[in-house]
Amino acid sequence: MSITRRQILQMVGAGLVATQVPAATAAGLFSKSTLKPPRLKAGDTVGLINPGGATFQTDDVTVFQETLAALDLKMKAGEHLLDRYGHLAGTDKARAADVNSMFADPDIDAVFTLRGGYGCNRLLDRLDYNTISKHPKILMGYSDITGLLLALYAKTGLVTFHGPVGISTWNKFSADYVKRLLFDAEALAMENPKDMGDNLTQVKNRVLTINKGIAKGRLVGGNLAVLSAIVGSDYLPDFKNKILFLEEVDENPKRVDRMMTQLKLAGILDKISGFVFGNCKSCGPEKGYGSLTLEEVLNDHIKPLGIPAWYGSMIGHIADKFTVPLGIEAEIDAASGRITLLEPAVI
């Protein structure tokens, strides 16, 4: 019987292990001003790690190595890339060691992740944030990787990237956003495609506006379940005047409501200046309509805030996805569903 990410979160979400890094480092006692990593360029070496769930197909690594080659990038595999400890890609100590070593390695130019799953939150108190802050590099992934993205930004100010993992669909849509953002240092605009196909009006990739308006702020967010699981810890940034973006998959509205309520009661939703929800795959009601819909849940929590907000952005567990930088100033237009970066995310 397969185990879902939700079940794994319930079983082990609270079991953080003892810290293995110095107390001052774990407390985040260093500068947290925005820290932009260097851009990618042809011939750079990407360190590939697997900080969450294990992969059971070694060809996943080969395929992604070929993908990186198509981007004119080289790959160096983490020492524990193919480890397995239960559902995890190795022990917490081993997976954290791969994160720390990739940032410390002068020959590694960026750090990409092979897949999500569950496990990154277990590593947060084992990371060497002091070394990471001294060697800023691109870190990219999504879903469970949200834990790392948020923690590194919160602790060091490093701009991190909610984008494809190794086993993602690296099609033209997704790859173009990666190249424009990480190679070309473009302050780009992200807006859902308007292709109607053979239909008389747009059916796919629609924007569902919750509140119209334009808002500015730094982008923060990621996977809702992973983010809500570390509420109350030191591994979340300050949400004041931030634009919060969220994504989910395989969660019915009841569970989304529970997590959104947690963000509300923690005071997070009252602080944000804008809100964007991704294209939530398999998030419909349970049998019949004996529950709220996802649209109703989002309206209940976000509409009363009066802030610009929409649902349906190309973020999350979908083939065509944006790469969204955490920590970068942006402007959103909730009527059109557009996210415009106001500065490059890399230097």
Catalytic: which of 80, 162, 301, 317?
317
β-strands 214-223, 329-333: how paired?
antiparallel
Q: Burial letters for 43-70: b for 16+ Cβ neighbours within 10 Å, e otherwise?
A: ebebbbbbbbbbbeeeebbeebbebbee
> Could you confirm whether 143 is annotated as catalytic?
yes
> Could you confirm whether 295 is annotated as catalytic?
no
Which run of H or E residues covers position 324? strand 324-326
Catalytic: which of 247, 251, 273, 301?
247
User: Tell me, what amino acid is at 253?
Assistant: P
What tokens appear for 247 in the block? 């994504």
Helix 253-265, helix 294-302: angle, nearest 10: 10
DSSP annotation of 255 reads H
**Are 203 and 316 a contacting pair, CB within 8 Å?**
no
Please, which residues bridge with residue 222 across strands?
246
What tokens appear for 340 in the block? 């415009």
What tokens appear for 226 in the block? 């992973």
Please, which residues bridge with residue 278 across strands?
313
DSSP letters of 292-309?
--HHHHHHHHHGGGTS-E
Catalytic: which of 133, 143, 174, 228?
143
> Could you confirm whether 186 is annotated as catalytic?
no
User: Looking at the annotation, which residues are catalytic?
Assistant: 143, 247, 317
